[in-house]
């Protein structure tokens, strides 16, 4: 399975944190199987790259998923997953001067296009 590569394209954050938690949980499970996974953050999901933002997403009523900030930490620190932030979203979400999470990098949409030539995508 090590030859499989995926890019998770996230477009939401505060508006649908349960969807983001599900996507991150799936990515964590895939990394545990040694599958190559990275994220591309667009629209509201770009805010996930801002240090401290994930800690504000408190939404769970049940223990269905791990908290988003814990999943993010596991993905970045334990698995070294990259979080690419759409360059067009940086100004719109005022991320230009923000401190970003570990493994976050600002990239243009053409970078995503190049990734899609080599990877399967999952959009949330």
Nearest CA to 111 among 3, 38, 62? Answer: 38
What percent of the chain is predicted at pLDDT more than 70?
Answer: 93
Residue 60 has a pLDDT of: 59
Show the domains of the chain with their CATH numbers.
5-123 (3.40.1260.10)
pLDDT tens digits, 22-69? 999 999 999 999 999 999 999 999 999 999 999 998 765 566 678 999
């Amino acid at each position: 399975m090590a030859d499989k590569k995926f890019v998770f394209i996230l477009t939401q954050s505060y508006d649908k944190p349960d969807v983001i938690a599900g996507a991150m949980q799936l990515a964590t499970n895939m990394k545990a199987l040694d599958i190559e996974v990275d994220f591309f953050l667009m629209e509201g999901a770009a805010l996930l790259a801002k240090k401290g933002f994930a800690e504000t997403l408190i939404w769970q009523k049940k223990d269905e998923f791990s908290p988003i900030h814990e999943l993010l930490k596991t993905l970045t620190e334990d698995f070294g997953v990259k979080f690419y932030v759409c360059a067009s979203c940086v100004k719109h979400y005022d991320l230009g001067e923000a401190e970003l999470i570990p493994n976050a990098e600002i990239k243009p949409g053409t970078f995503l296009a190049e990734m899609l030539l080599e990877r399967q995508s999952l959009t949330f």
